[in-house]
Amino acid sequence: MGRAKVKRGNTNIDMTAMCDVAFLLLAFFILATEFKPAEAVEVSPPSSVASKAAPQSDAFLVSISKEGQVFIEMSDDMKDDVIEELSTARNLNLTADDKALFKKSMFVGTPLNQLTQFIRVKPENLKSVKVTGVPVDSTNNELQAWINAAVNAYKGKKINFLIKGDNNSKYSLFRDVINSFKKNEIFKYQLVTSPEGIPEGSELEKKALAGGEDTE
C-alpha cells in the first residue's frame, strides 16, 4: 500500500516585524538613557569590604586627588540652595546667570574668586583646563565654607557627606579635609572605597553567613 504524502508547510518566518520592533527598542534606550557624567577627578580609592553603596541623593562628595587637589560634587537638587547660601555668606554677588550655570556644572574645582570663570567652561573642555582645587589650608579653608553653606541651607534635613580619597593621596591633605568637617561639627560621613569580596574563612564571612549586621 502506498504511503500517504503529507503536504509540508512553509517553515520560513517573516522576521521583518520583529526586526522593526528591535530597532525601535534600541532607538528608545539610546535616547532615554542618561549617561553617567564625568567625575571631577580620576580617583583610585583604597579597597575595603563593604555591602552598602554610596547614596546618590542629597549627597555632598569631597574628592581628594593624588596630586593634592580637592574637588566638590553635590546632588543637583542641592545646588540651588547651597550656592544661594554661600553667595550670601561670602558676599559673592553672583548673578542669576551665574547661579544657573553653577547648577549645570558637574563639580567645583577652584577657589571662590575663580568660580564664575570656572562654571563657564564647557564640560567637554574641562579636562584641558588646569584646576587648582578647592583650598583647604589653615589660612584659607574654603572647603569649610562650602560645608557650612550646605549645613545652613539644609537645616533639619539629612545630608549624605562622602569623602573619596585616592590611595596615593597624602595623609596631611586628608587630615585637612576631616578638619573642615569637624569645624562644622560634622562627625559622621562615609568613606567611599572600592568594594571587594569578604575574605573566605574570616569572621566577617561568618557573620554574613549567620545573617549578622552589614559590613561597612
Q: Per-residue pLDDT for 99 more than 70?
A: yes
pLDDT of amino acid 50: 55
pLDDT of amino acid 78: 92
Cβ-Cβ contacts under 8 Å for 208 (sequence gap 6 or more): 51, 198, 215
Grid cell 553603596 in the structure block, residue: 53
pLDDT of amino acid 88: 94
Burial of 193 (0-12, 13-18, 19+ CB in 10 A): middle
What phi-psi label fits residue 197: left (phi over 0), alpha (psi between -120 and 50 degrees) or beta?
beta
Q: Per-residue pLDDT for 213 more than 50?
A: no
Is 207 strand, coil or helix?
helix
> pTM for this one?
0.70
pLDDT of amino acid 92: 93
Q: What is the mean pLDDT of residues 130-155?
A: 92
pLDDT of amino acid 215: 41
Q: Mean pLDDT, the chain, as a whole number?
A: 79
Q: How confident is the model at residue 208 (pLDDT cuts 50, 70, 90)?
A: low
For 57, list phi and psi in degrees, rounded to 5: -90, 145
Query: What is the grid cell recorded at 61?
Result: 562628595
pLDDT in tens, 182-204: 999 999 988 887 655 555 666 65
